[in-house]
Chains A and B, each alone.
Chain A
Amino acid sequence: MRPSEPARRGVSLAHREALWALAFLIVPLAFFLFIRIWPAFQALWLSLFDWHADPSQRPFVGLEHYQQMLGDRLLLKALQNTLAYTLLGVPLQLLLGLCIALLLNAVTRFREVFRAIYFAPYVTPAAAVAWVFSWMLSPNFGIVNEILGVFGIPPQPFLTSPSQALVTVTMVVVWQNLGFQVVLFLAGLQNIPRDYYEAARIDGASNWQLFRHITLPLLNPVMVFSAVIGTIGFLQLFTQVVNLNFTDQGGPLGSTLTLALYIYQQAFARFDLGYAAAITVLLFVIILAITLVQLRLLSRRVEY
């Protein structure tokens, strides 16, 4: 297209740019409207009906599903578990990630090799890896109990015990997520200018003071990011829970059941899609609320 063409056509430059923008955006906008935005409202809409394959046969039930949630003991269990996973897993992976990043930052040789090893689990398919762990954690024939035995620790039931299963699943998820945290924290540490430490050292600051007053505050943005990402991840936990205990998903005795798994079971095992949709609305509200609170609480800007 020649530069003189718009003028000849009598279309102003601004007009021309807007037309191009429209041409560029029309397909993506259609995608977002029909695949992302409309279905979100449709979930809200479906939650007001009892499910039937034929749309004309879906009875309107209003807020009945939301009332049903109040008396649903399994849902309560799923909510409690999901909260427990999050409260256990997010601080744990944050802390471990930070520690390993600090160790890596303190060495020079083999740093990249270590970083790659710690990161490797993050890229592997969670479904397949969960099967590896369910083999390793098998109470009778698992290698983990064998290793514990070397140290004189009696065999543990792990995934087969209602009191240990949730913690065990959390460990597997943390194992898989850890590398992501390490890489982020290491990058954050390396972004802190050396001068800050040198200046503080001249002023007689101790190692702990350096960490407390320089490293931690300057890592704050990275920590907020990793806490938010981690929380959203744990609130939607599904793949590992399903595959670690495939024959009794969410078991034993509902001790590993998560919200996402409960939604899946209601929708695709019981085909109660209306009720399942109502629970997804609840999940949406929870994620939104927690993310907003976290962003507000954690994101104090620090500048030197």
Chain B
Amino acid sequence: MKRLSTLLIYLLLILGSLVMFFPFVWMFLTSLKPFAEIFELRVLPQAPTLDNYREVLFKTQFPRWFLNSLIVALITTASVLFFDALVGYTLAKLRFPGKGFIFVLILSTLMVPTEMLIIPWYVMSTEYGWSNTYWGLLFPGLISAFGVFLMRQFFQTLPTDLLDAGRIDGLSEFGVFWRIAFPLVRPALAALGIFTFLGNWNAFLWPLIVVQTADMRTVPVGVALFSSEAGTAWNLIMAASSLAVLPVLLVFLFFQRQIIEGVVLTGVKG
């Protein structure tokens, strides 16, 4: 009885896993088929080819989009990690007038949906000449209010004695933050960093608006606009999708434990 129910549970889990993973498999298999084969609905490609990838990589600006996404996601992540930690630390560990007010002020920005800010951002970008630039792509995400909240929670658990020891050793306040406090919250930083990177790498709405020329597109926008022009060449569309999805999946497979533990960490703390 017990063994039977365990078997049933595994069966259900495997069935669910198939539903979850099959789209990736089908995407990849289609991307290996020549155009003539895609409407035949045989599972495996009869004459597997890399031509679709060649076409997407060399006839579009995909490599450039990849670079753009990398630049935007890396700079944003570095900025978020530094500034969110700094602000979270200041709000958790330093005493100064107006602290409560500043915390509430930052938190209150979480209530405003991005859609509401996007129109003023667009107006700003056209007025200041930020549209179609890297700065235009990344300025909205440079600091995250959620991250400030998260980092403050973590810094609050650090014993103040540890920081005082640094002060007695002659570190400046910035030294205390950078040399002592910052390295101690590494798990939280890792979680926040992964989320920020993924969020920016996958972002669609703002890049779609702020970018005007093909060479400034990020991967999701580039792939979407390429696909919309490819008609029924699903072999090419799936090759483009694979180029967007597989690197993320690969990174995820390598770091899946850390990434999932990061979700738990932010979900439970936040």
A residues near B (Cβ < 8 Å) are 1-3, 14, 17-18, 20-22, 24-25, 27-29, 31-32, 35-40, 42-43, 46, 53, 100, 103-104, 106-107, 110, 112, 114-121, 123-129, 131-133, 135-136, 138, 141, 143, 146, 175, 178-180, 183-184, 187, 191, 222, 225, 232, 235-236, 238-239, 242-243, 246-247, 259-260, 263-264, 267-268, 273, 276-277, 280-281, 283-284, 287-288, 291
- A3 touching B167, Cβ below 8 Å: yes
Given A40-B116, A141-B41, A28 and B94 touching (CB < 8 A)?
no
Enumerate chain A residues within 8 angstroms of B241, measured Cβ to Cβ: 128-129, 131-132
Please indicate the chain A residues that have their CB under 8 angstroms from the CB of B174 in the complex. 20, 24
Chain A contacts of B67 at CB under 8 A?
none
Chain A residues near B183: list those with CB within 8 A: none
- Determine the distance from Cα of A191 to Cα of B115 in the docked complex, in whole angstroms: 36
Contact of A2 with B113 in the complex, beta carbons under 8 Å = no
Given A3-B167, A46-B123, A123-B198, does the pair A280, B224 have CB atoms closer than 8 Å?
Answer: no
Provide the residues of chain A in CB contact with B256, threshold 8 Å: 112, 116, 119
**CB contact between B120 and one of A42, A110, A179, A238 (< 8 Å): that residue:** A42
Interface string of B69-113 (1 = CB under 8 A from A): 000000000000001001101100011110100100110010111
The one of B26, B87, B112, B248 in contact with A132, judged by C-beta atoms closer than 8 angstroms, is B26
B142 at the interface (CB under 8 A from A): yes
Q: Which 3 A-B pairs have the closest CB atoms?
A: A39-B120, A128-B244, A127-B220
- Cβ of B47 within 8 Å of any chain A Cβ, yes or no, is no
The docked-state distance in angstroms from the alpha carbon of A167 to that of B83 is 41
| Size bin of chain B's contact surface | 35 or more
Question: Across the interface, which residues of A come within 8 angstroms of B13, CB to CB?
Answer: 100, 103-104, 107, 114
User: Which residues of B are interface residues toward A (Cβ below 8 A)?
Assistant: 6, 9-10, 12-13, 16-17, 19-21, 23-24, 26-27, 30, 38-39, 41, 83, 86-87, 89-90, 94-97, 99, 102, 105-106, 109, 111-124, 126, 139-140, 142-143, 145, 148, 167-168, 170, 172-174, 177, 198, 201-202, 204-205, 209, 219-221, 223-224, 227-228, 234, 237-238, 240-241, 244-245, 248-249, 252-253, 256-257, 259-260, 263-264, 267-268, 270
